[in-house]
């Protein structure tokens, strides 16, 4: 049943809009421009993915909510990834505490930028990005766990 939905998700959802197309094609663009474009677009990307997940009801409050994640729905096998809606909430919380770390996660996870590219976009060193990234991941993991407990 879930797999039947996949096709719909892919073809009909708001995922595939101009911004998304550009993200896919942007690899052709000069590196410098690409970094700045993706840095800007990563927020849009986050919203698109979260909206898509929300529209499909992948986030259901209540028992078992965390079981259905978007990438699972997309049949991607590479590593687990969180419930996008919950992640979105956790990121919003992180933004209040430390806006830059939120940006780092947006750019790296939603925008697909490397550590160096993120560093370029945020005008800080790669080392700083690595530290931000590590702490942000710990913080988000803790927050997601909390959300889950809260839901349950």
Partner 1 sequence: MTPERWATIEKLYHEALAQDAADRGRFLADACAGDEALRRDVRSLLEHDGSAAFLSTPAVVQVGHVIPTDSSLIGKAIGPYAISARIGAGGMGEVYRARDQKLGRDVAIKILSKDFTSDPERLARFAREARVLATLNHPHIGAIYGWEEFGGVGALILELVEGETLAERLEHGPIPVKEALTIARQIADALDASHEKGIVHRDLKPANIKITSDGDVKVLDFGLAKAASNGTTGPDRAQSPTITVTGTRDGAILGTAAYMSPEQARGQTVDKRTDIWAFGCVLYEMLTGRAAFAGPTVTDTLGAILERYPDWTKLPSATSAAVRRLLRRCLEKDCRVRLHDIADARLELDDAPLPGPTDPATKSGWPWRAWVAIAFTLAVAIGLGVWALSRDRRPDTGGPLLRLEINPPDGGRFGVVGDVFVRQGPALALSPDGRTAVYGAAVNGRYALWLRSLDESVARELRGTENAQFPFWSPDGRFLAFFANGKLQKLDVAGGPPFVICDVPRVFGGAWAPDDRILVGILAGTIASVPASGGTLSPLTTLDHSRGDVAHVWPQLLPGGRFLYWGASTKVEDNGVIYAASFERPNERVRLIASETSAVYASAPDGREYLLWQRGGTLLAQEFDTTTLTLAGEPRPIADAIGVVGSAAFIAVAASPNGTLLYANATLQRLTLFDREGKALGTLGDAGQYQGLRFSPDGKQVASTRIEAGRELVLIDVDRRVSRRATFDSRGGFNPQWSPDSRTILFMGDNLTALYRKDATGTAPDQRLASWPILNADITDWSRDGRSLLNTRAADETGADIWVVSVPPDGHLTADAEARPYLRTPASETAGRFTPVPNPRWVAYQSNESGRAEVYVDSFPERRGAHRISASGGTDPQWGPGGRELFYRSADGKVMALSLKPEADSLDPSAPRELFALPPQSTFEVAPDGQRLLVTVRDTTAPALNVIVNWPSLLKSSTTR
User: Which residue ranges make up the site for partner 1 (CB under 8 A)?
Assistant: 10-11, 15-18, 20-32, 37, 45-46, 49, 70-71, 74-76, 78-82, 84, 97-98, 105, 108-113, 120, 131, 134-135, 137-142, 145
Q: How far is the CB of 81 from partner 1 (least distance, A)?
A: 7
> H or E element: which one contains 38?
helix 31-55
Q: Taking Cα atoms as reference points, which of 81, 80, 101, 102 lies closest to residue 91?
A: 102
Rounded least distance, CB 37 to partner 1, Å: 7
What is the H or E stretch that residue 76 is in?
none
Minimum Å gap between C-beta 63 and partner 1 is 22
> Judged by CB, which is closer to partner 1: 58, or 84?
84
Sign of the CA dihedral with 48 first, then 51, 56, and 58 last: positive
Cβ neighbors of 106 (< 8 A, separation 6 or more) are: 42, 43, 45, 46, 91
Closest distance of CB 129 from partner 1, Å: 13
3-class DSSP assignment, residue 74: coil
Nearer to partner 1 (CB atom), residue 28 or residue 62: 28
What's the min distance (Å) between Cβ of 57 and partner 1?
A: 18
Of 62 and 80, nearer to partner 1 (C-beta) is 80
**Contacts of residue 56, Cβ cutoff 8 Å, sequence gap at least 6:** 5, 9, 13, 73
| Nearest CB to partner 1, comparing residues 18 and 62 | 18
Of 20 and 89, the one with the shorter C-beta distance to partner 1 is: 20
């Amino acid at each position: 049943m879930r797999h039947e939905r996949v096709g719909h998700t892919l073809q009909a959802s708001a995922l595939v809009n101009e911004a998304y197309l550009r993200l896919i094609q942007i690899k052709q663009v000069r590196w410098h421009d690409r970094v700045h474009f993706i840095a800007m677009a990563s927020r849009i990307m986050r919203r698109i993915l979260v909206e898509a997940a929300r529209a499909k009801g992948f986030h259901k409050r209540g028992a078992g909510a965390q079981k259905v994640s978007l990438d699972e729905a997309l049949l991607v096998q590479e590593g687990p990834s969180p419930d996008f809606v919950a992640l979105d909430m956790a990121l919003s919380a992180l933004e209040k505490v430390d806006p830059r770390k939120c940006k780092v996660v947006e750019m790296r996870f939603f925008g697909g930028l490397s550590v160096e590219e993120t560093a370029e976009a945020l005008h800080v060193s790669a080392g700083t990005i690595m530290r931000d990234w590590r702490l942000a991941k710990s913080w988000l993991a803790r927050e997601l766990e909390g959300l889950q407990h809260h839901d349950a």
